[in-house]
Amino acid sequence: MPPYYITTPIYYVNDQPHIGHIYTTTVADIIARYHRMTGDDTFFLTGTDEHAAKVVDAAAERGLTAQEWADENAAAFETTFAKLDMSHDDFIRTSQDRHKRKVEQYVRMLIDSGDVYLGEYEGWYDAGEEEYVPEKRAAEHEYKSPISGRALVRRSEKNYFFRLSAYRNELLTLLEQGGEVDGCTFKVEPQARRNEIIARIKEAEDVPISRKGRTDWGIAVPGDPDHTIYVWIDALFNYLTTVDTDERRHYWQGGAVHLIAKDILWFHAAIWPAVLLALRKCAGYEWVNLPRVVYAHSFWISEGQKMSKSLGNFIDLEKIDHYVETFGLDALRYFLAVRGPMGTTDSDFSEHAFIETYNSDLANTFGNCVSRVTKMIGKYFDGVLPRAVDLPWPVVKYKTYEIDVPDEIIASGQAEHTSEGVMELNLQRLTSDLRETSSERLLHLQLSDAQESAMSIVREVDGYIDKTQPFKLVKDETKLPEVGTILYNCIEALRIASVLLWPFIPNACEAFWQRMGLDYAAQMRANDEHDNKFSEWTRWGQFKPGTPIEKGASLFPRYQPPKT
Ligand code: MSP
């Protein structure tokens, strides 16, 4: 049971949760669920980033203390994630003592080792983002904020600096050559983001990690309370502070998977790994490893336009509630996973695309196929799962592929040569191939491809029914064993598809399992030993003939938009 540690960014507590936050957290949730099912000792972390100066101002405007305001808004994130059934193992808040104490300790260690030093900094400051913009980038953006477009201000101050330049070469070697350097592997994905960060690291200078000024909100530089640790450094440390305990440290050593969007690539793919390399050199922290992957996805836009406060077009909680109430939570998760911006292009969140995906995949494919098969079992076998028997080829085979099939598959009877010299495969073989592809893709965070392979099993079941036509065969009583075999094959393929689809649409899959008399949900909850349930459940032939099969209401009723 190897450890698997996956994180989301910790979200600014000044904002209300919106589709962007929910997206990254859903993706992490899907991946965490998959890993738990495969038996990995999984830890999934999300939380809130609270020490921004903006929090103090926003709180003051409302006559609250910063802590009160942060409590209120962090609760909004926690409630939202609970409502959306996120399976995170912890929710870290940077205003918590457990976090603050560790950050102080890390910064002290870095001051002692010389990687953090006091210096003078002059540069272009982006007040909205609370960060300095390097000269070249500032010039490229005509000295306006690359994020908000507001004018940058020239500022100089005494700051504590992190010696990023000392780690430039090591980082470049890791990123350009891959593989292991000094026990650390480290990847930035997708490829285009890796190239982007390599170019930026080449010009990396030391970075300020504190701002001058005493504050009650934030963490003071140890030994120098006139400086406050810059909110970005404070926030990045959350990934480590949460698991830097005797019970959890092993999660870090397995190499974290940091899921982020492209907006915060620099901090995660350059500064953070360099800070970790620096920490590794400190006594007692030699175990600190680099993340195994920093994965930066792209952005959701809304109905064709960038989401912005001024346009008021955020897919906010109210809209999200509407989608969940109308289509169900699984439909939202599914849409995010299938149409989401995991690659390097942005995705459009549009009602039209949502309905189209829902109807074509969930209602017409998964929901419909489950109804179709269970209905036939109900009608022809009184709702009791029939037995599969050895049958001649015309019933078992159904699909023609012009590919090379290995000899052992032909020998096992799962495929044969046809008169045209091509091969024919049966449903069992197709299902097991698609299962392999799907899980391989999920391991590489290719969500929509993984789901596509899983959903292909369902499409194959539909194709198999169309080809073998059990509804016609059943008219001849002597053909009943063949009909039983066909339906057994269908339900078995659907069972395997449901295991693959569970991380995406857990509620529908659990409802399906319940109707099939399968106690997978309970087994998963009780899996303290971290058994690989996934490989156990995706093996063909587990359904017991004689099992009562309940038909039940449609898992995903087709959606008809109201007529206007
Ligand atoms: N607090 C920092 C992160 C610190 S992590 C050590 C921050 N917070 S944020 O609230 O602005 O969240 C940014 C993250 O939210 C993005 O990296 C992404 O994960 C998610 N998204 C915010 N808007 C998004 C979209 N429009 N589309 C997709 N995801 C987006 O930055």
Q: Which of 96-100, 125-129, 384-388, 530-534 has the lowest mean pLDDT?
A: 125-129
Cis preceding-peptide flag for 17 (omega within 30 of 0)? no
Q: What is the pTM of this model?
A: 0.92
> Does 78 have pLDDT greater than 90?
yes
CATH class entry, domain 351-537 = mainly alpha
Q: Which of 71-75, 97-101, 446-450, 548-552 has the lowest mean pLDDT?
A: 548-552
Categorize the per-residue pLDDT at 216 as very low, low, confident or very high, splitting at 50, 70 and 90.
Answer: confident
pLDDT at 312 (0 to 100): 84
pLDDT at 300 (0 to 100): 97
In angstroms, how far is CA 239 from the centroid of its own chain? Answer: 16
Categorize the per-residue pLDDT at 86 as very low, low, confident or very high, splitting at 50, 70 and 90.
Answer: very high
Residue 27, Cβ neighbours under 10 Å: how many? 22
**CB hemisphere CA count around 35 (13 angstroms):** 23
pLDDT at 136 (0 to 100): 87
> Does 527 have pLDDT greater than 80?
yes
How does pLDDT run across 162-182, given as a tens digit for each residue?
999 999 999 999 999 876 766
| CA-262 nearest atom, ligand 1 | 17
pLDDT at 412 (0 to 100): 63
pLDDT at 1 (0 to 100): 76
**Diameter of the chain measured on Cα atoms:** 90
> Does 77 have pLDDT greater than 70?
yes
pLDDT at 422 (0 to 100): 41
Read off φ and ψ for residue 66, nearest 5 degrees.
-60, -40
Closest-CA residue to 296 (of 3, 1, 9, 4): 9
Q: Answer yes or no: are the C-beta atoms of 450 and 442 closer than 8 Å.
A: yes
For the chain, what is the radius of gyration of the CA atoms? 27
**What CATH number has the domain spanning 4-297?**
3.40.50.620
Q: Answer yes or no: are the C-beta atoms of 46 and 242 closer than 8 Å.
A: no
Higher pLDDT, 216 or 40: 40
Closest-CA residue to 502 (of 514, 510, 492): 510
Q: CB under 8 Å to 377, separation ≥6 — which residues?
A: 383, 384, 385, 386, 487, 491, 549
Query: Taking phi first (over 0 means left), then psi (-120 to 50 degrees means alpha), and beta for anything else, what does residue 138 get?
Result: alpha
pLDDT at 425 (0 to 100): 60
pLDDT at 420 (0 to 100): 46
pLDDT at 554 (0 to 100): 92
Higher pLDDT, 118 or 411: 118
Q: Which of 102-111, 210-219, 268-277, 282-291 has the lowest mean pLDDT?
A: 210-219
256: β partners: 5
Q: Which of 72-76, 356-360, 427-431, 516-520 has the lowest mean pLDDT?
A: 427-431
Distance, CA 293 to ligand 1 centroid (Å)? 17
State the average pLDDT over residues 281-303: 95
Cα angle 214, 219, 225 (rounded to 5 degrees) comes to: 40
Fill in the amino acid letter for 490: C
**Residues above pLDDT 90, as percent of the chain:** 76
For residue 106, CA distances in Å to 229, 393, 431, 491 come to 11, 67, 50, 55
Nearest CA to ligand 1 atom 5: 9
> Does 564 have pLDDT greater than 90?
no
Same fold, 4-297 and 351-537: no
The secondary structure of residue 276, as a DSSP letter, is H
| Residue ranges per structural domain of the chain | 4-297, 351-537
Q: CB under 8 Å to 257, separation ≥6 — which residues?
A: 4, 5, 6, 7, 31, 291, 292, 293, 295, 445
Distance, CA 190 to ligand 1 centroid (Å)? 17
Distance, CA 177 to ligand 1 centroid (Å)? 29
Q: Answer yes or no: are the C-beta atoms of 98 and 241 closer than 8 Å.
A: yes
49 in contact with ligand 1, CB cutoff 6 A: yes
Q: Answer yes or no: are the C-beta atoms of 227 and 159 closer than 8 Å.
A: yes
307 in contact with ligand 1, CB cutoff 6 A: yes
State the average pLDDT over residues 381-394: 78
pLDDT at 394 (0 to 100): 43
Residue with the two structure tokens 């087709």 = 558
pLDDT at 41 (0 to 100): 95
264 in contact with ligand 1, CB cutoff 6 A: yes
Residue with the two structure tokens 């016609």 = 472
What mean pLDDT is reported for the chain?
91
pLDDT at 479 (0 to 100): 87
> Does 397 have pLDDT greater than 70?
no
How does pLDDT run across 534-548, given as a tens digit for each residue?
999 999 989 999 999
50 in contact with ligand 1, CB cutoff 6 A: no
| CA-48 nearest atom, ligand 1 | 1
Residue with the two structure tokens 């292009």 = 345
State the average pLDDT over residues 52-56: 92
Instruction: Report the Cα–Cα distance between both ends of the chain, in Å, rounded.
Output: 54
Q: Answer yes or no: are the C-beta atoms of 27 and 259 closer than 8 Å.
A: yes
DSSP reduced 3-state for 28: helix
342 in contact with ligand 1, CB cutoff 6 A: no
Q: Answer yes or no: are the C-beta atoms of 330 and 510 closer than 8 Å.
A: no
Q: Answer yes or no: are the C-beta atoms of 36 and 274 closer than 8 Å.
A: no
How does pLDDT run across 491-503, given as a tens digit for each residue?
999 999 999 999 9
Rounded distance, CA 536 to CA 408, Å?
23
Nearest CA to ligand 1 atom 7: 11
In angstroms, how far is CA 236 from the centroid of its own chain? Answer: 19
For residue 308, CA distances in Å to 72, 143, 250, 348 come to 23, 21, 40, 14
Distance, CA 261 to ligand 1 centroid (Å)? 6
State the average pLDDT over residues 457-482: 90
Categorize the per-residue pLDDT at 60 as very low, low, confident or very high, splitting at 50, 70 and 90.
Answer: very high
Mutation pick for ligand 1 pocket among 6, 8, 21 (CB with most ligand atoms within 8 Å)? 21
pLDDT at 209 (0 to 100): 95
